[in-house]
Amino acid sequence: MAFAALAMAGAMLGAFLLIYFAGKWLLIAIFGGEYGASWLPLIMLTAAQLVNGCFGVGWVLLTMSGGERALSRSFLISVPVSVAIAVVLVPALGAVGAAWAAIAGAIVQNLIVWTAVRRIHAIDCSVFGALALSRGASAGER
């Protein structure tokens, strides 16, 4: 699972870098100049997906192994946090405020799921788990 997170994070990092460096140009070229300002919210939403990728698919493990309550708790907490942040930031920042809310929601949800997977299954399903495993393998541990 940890190496799946590493693959997911790598793919999302590639998407993030593509959108960061070429996204504004692509938005303008494809949709027109009036869409150039949508680049910042797009890059921020991509960052939220990068957060998801870094934490991996612990939600799948919870779904398939009796961790539905922990998974439900992650939604019951992260969605209101995201909505509350959106209510505060969207009037002042528009789409950028909504993107900040999405990033915050992703962080909260993934931290709850990651913690639950560590507590229930004693594994680290994130990129940090993959890095720890690779360090252990390179040190001859396993």
| pLDDT tens-digit series, residues 83-116 | 999 999 999 999 999 999 999 999 999 999 999 9
User: CA-to-CA distance for 64 and 142, rounded, in angstroms?
Assistant: 26
Residue 94: how many CA atoms within 13 Å on its side-chain side?
A: 6
User: CA-to-CA distance for 43 and 25, rounded, in angstroms?
Assistant: 13
- Summarize pLDDT for 21-33 with one digit per residue, the tens: 999 999 999 999 9
Q: Which residues contact 28 (CB under 8 A, 6 or more apart)?
A: 35, 36
Helices 39-55 and 95-121 pack at an angle, to 10 degrees, of: 0
Q: What are phi and psi of 24, to 5 degrees?
A: -65, -45
- pLDDT surpassing 90 at residue 54: yes
User: CA-to-CA distance for 92 and 96, rounded, in angstroms?
Assistant: 9
- Summarize pLDDT for 111-142 with one digit per residue, the tens: 999 999 999 999 999 998 888 887 776 555 54
pLDDT at 140: 53
